Structure 1
Amino acid sequence: MAAAGSMDQFASLRRGTTAEELATVLREMIMTGALAPEEQLREEHLSERFEVSRRTVRDALGILAHERIVRHYRHRGSRVVRFTEQDIRDLYRVRRTLEGAAAREVRRASGEKLEKLERAFDELARATATGVAAEIVRCDLEFHRAVVAILGSARFDEFFTAIAVEMRYAIAMLESAYAESKLRPDEALEEHRAIYTALASRDVGLAERLVEEHARQNEELLVKALAQPDPS
């Protein structure tokens, strides 16, 4: 469960709040751990907490369920997702497939795509310097989105977007378990720098190997974290 009082960091929403706005707040609470894996999301409680209608809460939870970070159980209500090992394996299999394909296509990538990747890396470096975990997680995801964008395919971009919230949740779990932003910020950033440099120099073999190694390492770390006892 989330720490007592952790919801207090999120101010009550204004009257007339939409389901999308409430979903945004709840999503951030999940990403930061203010709402913990398997925590029950009671419509009545959330309605009172955020001073919105139960219909708004219900619709917001539906949005998060569509993003696969909340699950609805018949007769038991909604809970924050706790990833299984298979969830992690599936997500990283998709990511390796997309990013590996991007590495193989990088020789044909436009200068605009590589400039976008450079900006994404610069933003990740800036975020790493701040040490703010949530910002690092966000920029980490945007870096990998820019890698996939090298493919120059709207369909692949949309496919990445479809799993982006789950991937952000996975990266946030990785940060929570291993505190990379505090314990090895330079090492974690250098892994991304190596990927960026290989792609920017259009070194297909090296880029493909690095994106595979990076994804595989994170996949195994997450699987290991799932096996650890819940500290709560």
Structure 2
Amino acid sequence: MNDPRRVFLVVAVALGTLVPAVASASYPAGVWALVEKVTPEPDADQPNRVRIDGLFIVAKGTPDFAGYPGYSVPAYGYMYYQCADAELATCKMEWAELATVAGGEDRCRGWGDNSLPANGTVRTAEPQAMPDAYPISMGVVPGFSPCNALKEWMAEHPPEAATSGEGRARARASSRPRAPRGRRPGARRARRRRARSRMAAPRRRPRRARRGRRAGRRARPTRGRWAGTRAACAAPAMSRGRWRGC
């Protein structure tokens, strides 16, 4: 007869071994992407087309991605979709969800299904041509393994080679080295020029000091016969009408 405690222990161990595998599994989406920007067309209120910029892997694409087999090698660019009229409500909801995570830390999302014949193509050419049909399956889903694979590949291949208009300009601006403050080209030359101009300029005393010196020189009594005249004229008694020979 089986011991109930032994059976319970065996079941608990089996469940414990299955939990990590389930946590690391991801839905087999048709496209996994690090979404950078979502542009609905012709407007955000009633869109029937969408452009999604970012880094993508597509199911059944070639060449095969060693970091996540069954998908194409990651590629920078954009995907351009058009939604069928009967699915506009679903498309609008999924595109709005992609727009909320675009450009953030948690921007990795998947859509479509790897069992579908087509999930779209990654494009780099401008202007955008005929859109692909948007694949609708289980909605927009987060992932674990494909997202980690994308982020690791992105760390090894920074977006300097991005070819989609705005993404390429942003990549060039972010990758351009910037000199630290005080060490930029020409800063040392400008400091030397200012120092030379200060050394060549004649030293002038402040205007207040010059005025004070002149005033003191005028008030200084002269020597000789008229030694006391200026001091006598400057005395307060002169304001009361008394004449002292000034």
Q: TM-score with structure 2 length normalisation?
A: 0.26
Q: Rg: which structure is higher?
A: 2
The structure whose residues are more often helix, as a share, is 1
Q: Greater relative contact order (Cα 8 A, min sep 6): structure 1 or 2?
A: 1
